[in-house]
Amino acid sequence: MSGERDIGSHVQDMVEACERIILFADGVSDDALLDPERPVRGGVLTT
Protein backbone atom coordinates (compact mmCIF):
# COMPACT_ATOMS: atom_id res chain seq x y z
CA MET A 1 0.00 0.00 0.00
CA SER A 2 1.23 3.46 -0.71
CA GLY A 3 1.53 5.81 2.23
CA GLU A 4 2.56 3.10 4.70
CA ARG A 5 5.51 3.97 6.86
CA ASP A 6 8.37 1.61 7.55
CA ILE A 7 9.14 0.37 11.05
CA GLY A 8 12.13 2.70 11.31
CA SER A 9 9.84 5.72 10.96
CA HIS A 10 7.67 4.48 13.81
CA VAL A 11 10.71 3.83 16.00
CA GLN A 12 12.03 7.33 15.25
CA ASP A 13 8.67 8.80 16.32
CA MET A 14 8.90 6.88 19.61
CA VAL A 15 12.45 8.08 20.24
CA GLU A 16 11.41 11.69 19.61
CA ALA A 17 8.41 11.31 21.93
CA CYS A 18 10.69 9.95 24.67
CA GLU A 19 13.07 12.88 24.21
CA ARG A 20 10.17 15.33 24.61
CA ILE A 21 9.00 13.53 27.76
CA ILE A 22 12.50 13.71 29.24
CA LEU A 23 12.67 17.46 28.57
CA PHE A 24 9.17 17.99 29.95
CA ALA A 25 9.87 16.04 33.14
CA ASP A 26 13.40 17.32 33.73
CA GLY A 27 13.73 18.46 37.32
CA VAL A 28 10.35 17.10 38.40
CA SER A 29 10.57 14.84 41.45
CA ASP A 30 9.46 11.21 41.32
CA ASP A 31 6.74 12.01 43.86
CA ALA A 32 5.36 14.76 41.64
CA LEU A 33 5.44 12.54 38.56
CA LEU A 34 3.50 9.79 40.33
CA ASP A 35 0.96 12.04 42.10
CA PRO A 36 -2.40 11.59 40.34
CA GLU A 37 -3.46 15.06 41.52
CA ARG A 38 -0.63 16.82 39.67
CA PRO A 39 -1.06 17.74 36.00
CA VAL A 40 2.52 16.79 35.08
CA ARG A 41 1.60 13.13 35.60
CA GLY A 42 -0.84 13.26 32.70
CA GLY A 43 1.85 14.66 30.45
CA VAL A 44 4.16 11.74 31.13
CA LEU A 45 2.14 8.70 32.21
CA THR A 46 -0.85 7.18 30.48
CA THR A 47 -2.04 5.07 33.41
Q: What is the pLDDT of residue 13?
A: 92
pLDDT in tens, 1-47: 457 889 999 999 999 988 888 887 788 888 877 777 776 666 666 55
DSSP string, 21-36: HHHHHTT--HHHHH-T
Q: What is the pLDDT of residue 46?
A: 56
Q: What is the pLDDT of residue 40?
A: 67
Per the rule left: phi > 0, alpha: psi between -120 and 50, beta: everything else, 38 is: beta
Q: What is the pLDDT of residue 36?
A: 77
Residues near 32 by beta carbon (within 8 Å), at least 6 away in sequence: 38, 40, 41
